[in-house]
Amino acid sequence: MPAGSTKRKSKPFKIETGEPNIDVVPPSKQKLHDEKASVVLRHFDKKFECFSSWPARDLKSFTRFIEKMNSKTQAQVTTDTDFCHSHKGKQKALPKSLSPEQKVFSLDVTGAGRAHGVFSDGKFFLVWLDRKGKILGH
């Protein structure tokens, strides 16, 4: 930087999600939608496991997982027992931002890797990444 010049400060910015007021709807009030499922990171708990702990090949599998989700409806995903498993019995406590009455699903990403979360109005809210299948003991 030339002498006497000052560094320009970046303007603060906010990432717009496009859906500022969307919340997870309690299961009793949900409707199944015919639109394709999507993955939402609004309630993602990075303290359990973060994307940075996944090797490149598993991240590629996660990309394929997103593509698979975008090609199916919520009903198609939740009835595919080779891909989707519901949590049963004692489960990990959901973040406080989610209702404890939410049904938690485990979706296959890699051989042992899972994405755990809840569905609401056709959207899959990803809560935990689980590369080694520790949550359900796979």
Distance CA 24, CA 66 (A): 19
Delineate the domains of the chain, giving CATH numbers in brackets.
Answer: 30-88+102-130 (3.30.2310.20)
Question: Which one has a higher pLDDT value, 12 or 128?
Answer: 128
Summarize pLDDT for 112-128 with one digit per residue, the tens.
899 999 998 889 999 99
Q: Higher pLDDT residue, 93 or 6?
A: 93
Q: What type of residue is 80?
A: D
Tell me the HSE value of 92 on the side-chain side, using a 13 A CA sphere: 20
Residue 14 scores a pLDDT above 60? no
What is the reported pTM?
Answer: 0.73
Q: pLDDT tens for residues 37-61?
A: 999 999 999 888 999 989 999 999 9
Residue 7, both tokens: 């560094």
Instruction: Tell me the average pLDDT of the chain.
Output: 80
